[in-house]
Amino acid sequence: MAEEEFRSHGEQFLLAARTHAECRAGRLIEADEEGCLIELDLNVEMPIDYKVDGVSPNGVRTTETVSVRLWPDYPWSPPSFYLRSDFPRDLPHLQPGPLTELPRPCLIDGNPREYFFQFGLVELGVFHLVHQLVLWLQRAAERTLIHHGRGWEPTLRRDLSSVVAVDAEACRAAVDHNGGYRLLKARFFRSGSDNSLIGRDARIWLNVSQEHVPLKRDDNKLFMRRQQNGASSGDTICCLIWPDKLPSGGDFVAGSYMPETVDTYGGLLARAVELHCGRALRVFLDNLERCFKGFDLEAPIPIGIILCARRPCPLVGSQSNIELLPYAFEIRAMKQRSSLLSTGDNEPVVPVMQIDATNTTLLRNVSGAPLVPPVAMIGCGSVGSKMAMHLARSGATISVVSDNGSLRPHNMARHALARAEYASSKASELAKELEQLGQSPAVQQGDAVTDLAARETRKIVLPREAGYAINTTASLSVREALSALAAKDIKPRLAEAALFGRGDGGFLLVEGSSHNPTLSDLVAELYASIISPFHSLRRLLR
């Protein structure tokens, strides 16, 4: 885009921005092929007793000069707003970034481009963004960017390029009153060459499990690395750290908002100290150094760090007051090294975005489904596989999948899974699929009739922890075998589901308590009730 075109965009922007009643002045600073830089002087309304001082107690001025950057693709992209370098940083709704960069306010709860576009006219989009900025500055001065009545708003992280997927609730559950840390097994994916630096041209993805791993010098599998297609992946660890208790014995509560400005290990350590997690971080790093003593691994290995900040009130949308603040840095076990962190306190650290690992709680919350006790699936065919997948997607735990059949090409017509011709058993394939949803069901591949007859295998097919066991085998013998069991031998409540009439009809029968009536009783009743020649289901049962 020509410089003149940018200049024109800048002037149009200024015209629209100046129409806002709180915009006192504006000027075009520069326009070139990189875009356009503008400054706006905005009036910041604040309590009258602050205003008479010209500045709020936290340092927001009654007139704030804001820099606006129009990018080369403007107006197809929204303008970016930057505050002065010494603007107070201890505020929520500031985008994460190092202190060396100008602070950026987060103006929109959503996608800024969609917001910018929704007004139809570019001028209106500019006007509304300026208005959002004016409101943001006002709330910054009043320290009301967080509405504590709704809970503690977590530090902004959603636009970060590096990601950690972890079961947040499980991490929070690990936090106790004494302080400490826990090492969790993780898998990583790292983009970029070995020479690339995180935070610049390398991005990290960490999948953190809840499996605890000790740091052992003889554990050669703890840190593994494979390289392929210009990227690397492998095994590593993530250190979950929670705050030490106060000398008085009470909990340390981090009640003030801290901007996400960590970009070095020194900054991370300072942040950890602020959160009373510094001791554990130092201990962890010392142990890591000892673990690697005598070993070399030239390539960089990402390490995850999750600091747990105890907040004064529960987080928005959570019952917990523990906020997870995840970071990543890389160790390089060079031959001639003084430390795994090759540049010491200046070693780059990136804040990373935490997303929930796929688990039943997440799926239940998202789907809005009621809490269902664990379910044992007997039969993994077209009905069983679909029921199991839908139950799992709505957050129900599938405790066991039982089926002695193999998954064949003709099953693909109705089965929930799509597999190649050489797929293994239905039960094991379904279990594999369920693993993708954070489940780890037991697999029973024996004959259900004989398995139910034997006590040991019956305990696998009908586990004690299951609330329901659903027979989807469409097998008369399996139904009879289930119905013939003594009530004392059955912990879950039994149910049966089947489709018939090529899918035009179906039933779901659930036994009464204490195995009374049984599935056989219910099926008999079903047939008895539809035996009338006029009953519409009769036709389907022929």
Note the residues at the interface with other proteins (CB under 8 A).
Answer: 16, 19-22, 45-52, 92-93, 106, 108-110, 115, 118-121, 123-124, 127-128, 131-132, 134-136, 138-139, 142-147, 149-150, 153, 316-317
Residue 160 or 427 with smaller CB distance to other proteins:
160
Q: Which is nearer to other proteins, 137 or 481 (CB)?
A: 137
Nearer to other proteins, 144 or 424 (CB): 144
Rank residues 13 and 127 by Cβ distance to other proteins and give the closer one.
127
The structure tokens listed for 518 are 């049984």
- Indicate the residue among 16 and 239 with the shorter CB distance to other proteins: 16
Contact 473/383 with Cβ under 8 angstroms? no
- Name, in order, each residue with C-beta under 8 angstroms of 86's C-beta and a sequence gap of 6 or more: 59
Min dist. Cβ of residue 128 to other proteins (A): 5
Nearer to other proteins, 48 or 528 (CB): 48
Considering the complex, state which of residue 146 and residue 526 has its C-beta at the smaller distance from other proteins: 146
By the 8 A CB rule, do 404 and 380 touch?
Answer: no
Read off the amino acid at residue 292. F
CB nearer to other proteins: give 150 or 535.
150
Helical residues (DSSP H) of 20-78, grouped into ranges: 48-51
- Whole-angstrom Cα distance, residue 302 to residue 391? 36
Strand order in the sheet with 493-500: 442-444, 398-402, 375-378, 468-471, 493-500, 505-510
State the nearest-atom distance from the C-beta of 121 to other proteins, in Å.
8
Q: Are 124 and 131 in contact (CB under 8 A)?
A: no
The residue (of 61 and 419) whose beta carbon lies closer to other proteins is: 61
Taking the complex as a whole, how short is the minimal distance between the CB of residue 47 and other proteins, in angstroms?
A: 2
Helix (H, G, I), strand (E, B) or coil at 27: strand
Distance, CA of 463 to CA of 479 (rounded, Å): 17
Q: In angstroms, give the least distance from the CB of 92 to other proteins.
A: 7
Of 21 and 528, the one with the shorter C-beta distance to other proteins is 21
CA separation, residue 463 to residues 81, 129, 435, 455 (Å): 58, 58, 19, 11
Least Cβ distance, residue 146 to other proteins (angstroms) = 6
The distance of closest approach from Cβ of residue 306 to other proteins in the complex, given in angstroms and rounded to an integer, is 21
Nearest distance, CB of residue 396 and other proteins, angstroms:
22
CB of 127 to other proteins, least distance (A): 5
Alpha-carbon distance 69 to 120, whole Å? Answer: 21
Question: Collapsing DSSP states into helix, strand and coil, what is residue 225?
Answer: strand
As to burial, measured by CB atoms within 10 angstroms (0-12 exposed, 13-18 middle, 19+ buried), residue 24 is: middle
Burial of 161 (0-12, 13-18, 19+ CB in 10 A): middle
* Nearest-approach distance from CB 150 to other proteins, in angstroms: 7
Residue 95's region, left for phi above 0, alpha for psi from -120 to 50, else beta, is: beta
Give the helix, strand, coil percentages of the chain, each rounded to 5. Answer: 30, 25, 45
Based on CB atoms, which residue is closest to other proteins, 45 or 480? 45
Among 346, 357, 400, 391, CA closest to 372: 391
Decide: helix, strand or coil at residue 67: strand
Pairing of β 322-333 and β 349-351: antiparallel
Minimum distance, C-beta of residue 49 to other proteins, in the bound complex (Å): 4
How many whole angstroms separate alpha carbon 121 and alpha carbon 140?
29
Residues 158 and 151: their CA atoms lie apart, in Å, by 18
Question: How many residues in the chain?
Answer: 542
Nearer to other proteins, 316 or 334 (CB): 316
- SS3 sequence of 402-463: ECCCECCHHHHHCCCCCCCCCCCEHHHHHHHHHHCCCCCCEEECCCHHHHHHCHHHHHHHCC
Shortest gap between Cβ of 539 and other proteins (angstroms)? Answer: 48
Q: Which is nearer to other proteins, 141 or 238 (CB)?
A: 141
CB of 522 to other proteins, least distance (A): 41
Q: How far is the CB of 439 from other proteins (least distance, A)?
A: 24
